[in-house]
Amino acid sequence: MMDSRVRRGACVTLYTKNLKIFTGNANPELAGEIAAYLGIELGDANVSSFSDGETSVSINESVRGADVFVIQPTCPPAAKHVMELLIMIDALKRASAKRICAVLPYYGYARQDRKLKARDPITAKLGANIITA
């Protein structure tokens, strides 16, 4: 299925047949609204926690050869939402998604983008490096 839309004078073609959108627990409402706007269903995945607090992710549909977007802001609790994102990306890679694009409407570590004093980490850069690895 192909849908063409004109935005700001440029023709943007969306191929929705191989486009999938997934989300963690940070803001499923936003991901649902984006999927509805594009006329596709939100991807089927379970994101939960084991009794010890470890994150568990299962992808319940085929993503082989698909372009996948993961909508997952890293709002508080940031560490939990980052871990959900990383585990979901890993699960999608192992399920042979063609391309994976993480969409972070809010990046919880953005304030730590430079060293304020000696021996300070640059956490924003570390997080970006881990997500793109």
7 part of a folded domain: no
In a domain, 114, yes or no: yes
**Of 23, 24, 1, 26, nearest in space to 14 by CA:** 1
Domain containing residue 125: 12-132
Report the CATH number that the domain containing residue 24 is assigned in CATH.
3.40.50.2020
- pLDDT tens for 102-111 read 999 999 888 7
Q: In one letter, which amino acid is 122?
A: I
Q: Convert the pLDDT of each residue in 40-55 to its tens digit.
A: 999 999 999 999 999 9
- What per-residue confidence (pLDDT) applies to 5? 52
Other CB atoms within a 10 A radius of the CB of residue 2 amount to 8
Whether 17 is in a domain gets the answer: yes
Between CA 122 and CA 110 the distance in angstroms is 10
Q: How many domains does the chain have?
A: 1
Predicted model pTM: 0.82
Flag whether 4 is in a domain: no
Kindly state whether residue 3 falls inside one of the protein's structural domains. no
Structural domain includes residue 6: no
Give the mean model confidence (pLDDT) for residues 114-119: 87
- Say if 2 falls within a structural domain: no
pLDDT mean over 23-42: 95
pLDDT at 58 (0 to 100): 98
**pLDDT tens digits along 3-15:** 555 454 333 445 5
Cα–Cα distance, 42 to 59 (Å, whole number): 12
Task: State residue 16's pLDDT score.
Answer: 63
Is-contact 122 112, C-beta < 8 A?
yes
pLDDT digits (tens, 9 = 90+) for 57-104: 999 999 999 999 999 999 999 999 999 999 999 999 999 999 999 999
